[in-house]
């Protein structure tokens, strides 16, 4: 029994059917961690991208260093650091929050590059035309740059969303009850790892295929020349 | 034509790294004058327009536009570098047409032409739409307002870009090789619009171009640029018909051979 649901080991099929609701409970945690982690990555990435774009080297260089540092160290190291080191300094977060934070932190380095690339992909001539028309920098960013950058940013962000989802099982090492961890516990207790682990793989495969199809669909629907402004 | 210069360059220096693009350039344009700038690529001719439009800074020297310093401000009797606010007010004097049109691809033609009049000049939507109609009519595209730039030919796009610049009612129009990116059969329609502007309006016009025949037709004065300096200038009949300088002669000869 796990998470209040008992399993039936009379046959392989019965076992598979009986543990499915347990795995789906784990899946909910996986999806929650994905969403919270992605949200942190979106916000933190935007801040990092803003800092990196600063004309002041005193601001842009540390931001670049942080991005590089986060990207070049393993997610697991960061996760352990947040989970085991922070409490020594009096910062104690629940395992789920620690995990989501680690995911968000790691992926903020990637999303910040996506934002930067998206904004830089808007041709210089667009900025020059906006300047020649005397638009304010703010107006120019909002109605000229952003609508043209967003369609280039969204597909790349979608790919990172899928990536985060696939990295959530790492949180099992800090005892977050996400789907893989749930499957492993079922295996520990029934000595049947094959079925729960296969089911996790299958559920992931379905999720990823659906997400990839959704991103492809989004990509074909996004206006290539920027979001139309009447 | 008024005799006061509306644009005055005084020993202006512009460098890109080790390359000196403008070399202590002295240059004046009178109010209402139509001036064509010709010369080999890399001679600094586009840079003159880009500096005026404040797309490039200057490294040394002084520029006056409509009696006011462009890149400087007077403060307590001293010349200090201009603030963004000052540059913003100076840009209102000028409109620019780019080689690559630089229309906003995600906006309709109408929105392209009304965006700045509404959000910079503070016109109401209705006033701006009226004005857009007027200038689109002027460039012969009154019926294309609801299209997106990608639905238009290059020549039409450039005419929209001209309407967009005119809708700000600038005193000075800067044309930076406006037909260089166009297919040959589309050049004429853009030149016709520019010519009409030159003939029917008292705009001051500065035109960087490789269209020698056109420059000859519409200009009050032609300036031949080479290596960041004006080598020769004068009425088009003189510069094209009887160039005094060796370098001008070489350039025109080569140009006519290759064109």
Q: What is the C-alpha separation between A211 and A162, in angstroms, rounded? A: 7
Mean per-residue pLDDT over chain A, rounded? 92
What is the phi/psi pair of residue B4, to 5°?
-70, 135
Q: Do B96 and A132 touch (CB under 8 A)?
A: yes
**Nearest residue in chain A measured CA to CA from B122:** A135
- CA distances, A101 to each of A33, A79, A208, B137 (Å): 9, 8, 22, 58
Of A132, A134, A225, the CB nearest to B106: A225
Which residues face B79 on adjacent strands?
Answer: B74
Chain B contact set for A144 (CB, 8 A): 104
Query: What is the length of chain A?
Result: 230
Both structure tokens of A211: 């997400």
pLDDT tens digits, residue range A66-91?
999 999 999 999 999 999 998 899 88
**Nearest residue in chain A measured CA to CA from B111:** A230
Residue B259, pLDDT > 60, answer no
Q: Which residue has the tokens 């032409």?
A: B113
Say how many CB pairs under 8 Å bridge A and B: 74
Residue B106, pLDDT > 90, answer yes
Q: Which residue has the tokens 């947040």?
A: A82
Which residues face B19 on adjacent strands?
Answer: B16
Helix axes B125-138, B154-166, angle to 10 degrees: 130
Q: Do B91 and A134 touch (CB under 8 A)?
A: yes
Chain A contact set for B165 (CB, 8 A): 132-133
Of B102, B119, B148, the CB nearest to A125: B102
What is the phi/psi pair of residue B15, to 5°?
-120, 145
Q: Do B102 and A129 touch (CB under 8 A)?
A: yes
Interface of chain A toward chain B, CB-CB under 8 angstroms: 123, 125-126, 128-129, 131-136, 139, 143-144, 147-148, 223, 225-230
Q: What is the C-alpha separation between A51 and A69, in angstroms, rounded? A: 15
Closest approach of chain B CAs to the CA of A229, in angstroms? 5
Spatial neighbors of A116 by CB under 8 A, at least 6 apart, are A49, A52, A53
Longest dimension (CA), chain A: 77
Give pLDDT, residue B258: 58
Tens place of pLDDT per residue across chain A (230 aa): 788 888 888 899 999 999 999 999 999 999 999 999 999 999 999 999 989 888 889 999 999 999 999 999 999 999 999 999 988 998 888 999 999 999 999 999 999 999 999 999 999 999 999 999 999 989 999 999 999 999 989 989 999 999 999 999 999 999 899 999 999 999 999 999 999 999 999 999 999 999 999 988 988 888 888 888 87
- CA distances, B210 to each of B162, B207, B213, B256 (Å): 18, 10, 9, 11
Longest dimension (CA), chain B: 55
Asked if B35 contacts B174 with a C-beta cutoff of 8 angstroms, the reply is no
Chain A contact set for B54 (CB, 8 A): 131
ipTM score of complex: 0.91
Q: What is the C-alpha separation between B100 and A164, in angstroms, rounded? A: 41
Prediction pTM value: 0.83
Which of B51, B88, B106 is best to mutate for the A interface (most A CBs within 10 A)? B106
Chain A contact set for B135 (CB, 8 A): none
């Amino acid at each position: 029994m796990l998470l209040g649901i008992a399993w039936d080991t009379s046959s392989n099929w019965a076992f598979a059917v009986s543990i499915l609701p347990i795995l789906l409970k784990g899946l909910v945690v996986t999806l929650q961690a994905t969403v919270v982690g992605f949200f942190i990555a979106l916000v933190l990435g935007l801040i990092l991208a803003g800092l990196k774009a600063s004309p002041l080297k005193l601001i842009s260089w540390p931001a670049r260093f942080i991005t590089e540092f986060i990207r070049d160290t393993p997610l697991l190291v960061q996760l352990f650091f947040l989970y085991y080191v922070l409490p020594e300094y009096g910062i104690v977060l629940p395992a789920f929050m620690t995990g989501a934070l680690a995911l968000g932190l790691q992926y903020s380095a990637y999303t910040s590059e996506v934002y930067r690339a998206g904004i830089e992909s808007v041709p210089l001539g667009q900025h020059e035309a906006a300047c020649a028309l005397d638009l304010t920098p703010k107006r120019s960013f909002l109605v000229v740059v952003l609508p043209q950058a967003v369609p280039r940013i969204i597909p790349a962000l979608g790919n990172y969303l899928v990536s985060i989802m696939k990295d959530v099982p790492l949180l099992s090492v800090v005892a977050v009850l996400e789907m893989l961890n749930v499957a492993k516990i079922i295996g520990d207790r029934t000595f049947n790892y094959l079925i729960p682990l296969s089911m996790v793989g299958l559920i992931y495969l379905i999720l990823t295929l659906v997400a990839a199809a959704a991103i492809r669909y989004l990509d074909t629907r996004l206006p290539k020349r920027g979001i139309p402004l009447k | 034509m008024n005799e006061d210069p509306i644009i005055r360059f005084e020993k202006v220096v512009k460098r890109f790294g080790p390359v000196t693009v403008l070399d202590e350039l002295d240059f004046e344009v009178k109010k209402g004058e139509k001036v064509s700038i010709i010369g080999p690529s890399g001679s600094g001719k586009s840079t003159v327009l880009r500096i005026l439009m404040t797309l490039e800074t200057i490294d040394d020297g002084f520029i006056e536009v409509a009696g006011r310093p462009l890149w400087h401000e007077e403060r307590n009797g001293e010349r200090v570098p201009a603030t963004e606010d000052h540059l913003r007010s100076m840009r209102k004097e000028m409109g620019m047409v780019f080689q690559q049109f630089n229309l906003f691809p995600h906006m309709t033609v109408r929105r392209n032409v009304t965006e700045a009049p509404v959000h910079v000049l503070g016109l109401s939507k209705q006033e701006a739409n009226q004005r857009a109609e007027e200038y689109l009519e002027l460039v012969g595209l009154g019926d294309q307002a609801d299209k997106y730039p990608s639905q238009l030919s290059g020549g039409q796009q450039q005419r929209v870009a001209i309407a967009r610049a005119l809708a700000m009612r600038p005193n000075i129009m800067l044309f930076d090789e406006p037909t260089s990116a166009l297919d040959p059969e589309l050049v004429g329609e853009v030149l016709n619009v520019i010519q009409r502007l030159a003939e029917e309006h008292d705009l001051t016009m500065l035109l960087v171009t490789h269209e020698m025949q056109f420059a000859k037709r519409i200009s009050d004065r032609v300036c031949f640029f080479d290596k960041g300096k004006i080598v020769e200038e004068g009425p088009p009949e003189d510069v094209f018909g009887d160039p005094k300088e060796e370098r001008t002669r070489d350039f025109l000869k080569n140009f006519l051979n290759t064109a």
